[in-house]
Structure 1
């Protein structure tokens, strides 16, 4: 059964989302770009605040928008990993040196950091064979998510559903957690859930349309209700809880 991820702009939004029980709270500053980062101290404080919460959602955090240079990406990933967050999300674009960045991050994966690569559908060709999925798996990444760098058009304007299905299948074949995001709407949930990604990610749909606006509890309820009404067709094994061991 596909779960959902909710992007959270600040700690004050978290109580508005917890009753809807998203599987992942994604700590990301939408005013600072596609993968704008929270301050590391705020991430660590949020981890401490939610640590004792029974059945708490997993927490992911972005490292910020960085050029594809190892000397920029690796320190940023290490800084966010030091907060103890469950998943560290890192954006990958085809320009620059994405392969060198992946290689530079492999030691962090070997230390037990659960990293998720965010691949931008409006920057990469609409073909999973063009994506560095095999290299991510070999480097020890935990997952790969297809998102959009620009938010004017949704994910399905860049890749059609057959191409998205191929991405999900390819990612699963490499034993990676798989996700789809990028200006998704409530209306996208049935079709994309049918592709069996582990997660669908949302921000704008939780704010009533504009991703830089605040969380709208009524919009959150619409997303949660859409997931509650999905048929349980062919459930996939759920990923095990993150571990640093």
Structure 2
């Protein structure tokens, strides 16, 4: 089963400094059919105006992955971590027992991010933060694991969940495949750029695809495409 979730049909709110689109229920947007997908709880498509951002605020017991689409985001937290993550790269914050952080766009132009929250499969751990570059050339025509709690994914940023966040770039007229370890896994795929089909289901830029009961997916790009995919277990 693959369900297209069009960008135009997403919930969201425009706060001026922040234009947010929500693939799942978030803040004042609630859809009982879009609360989570497996352990994936949040996928926000955020555009943050220059010299603005999220002031310090707390989180606990959530794995928060930020994929930067355009521009850069600057992080600071009460653990003393501070860093700047640029377009194409990823940061991970494991909120654990509690963390307070801010995320600002200190650039001269708008920043666009995917904010992905995955529910952890264990709690009570110390919070942590990290960022890592993932050159797009290294994932041309193939999926690269960006963040993972799956055993063996040693080159990815660690998360405390039975889940992976992956990225790929595919040139127009070419394709890429991904195999789930079981058709019981939950996949959620968003095109950061371009257009493509996923097992024949057509997606445009910033559309989502909710995937379940599939052993493999075949993504064929009709325009140069940048893909982000979450592969997660069921949430109990």
> TM-score interval w.r.t. the shorter chain?
0.3 to 0.5
Q: What TM-score, normalized by structure 2, do the two folds share? A: 0.37
User: Structure 1 length normalisation: TM-score?
Assistant: 0.36
Q: Give the structure with the higher percent strand.
A: 2
Larger helix proportion of the pair: 1
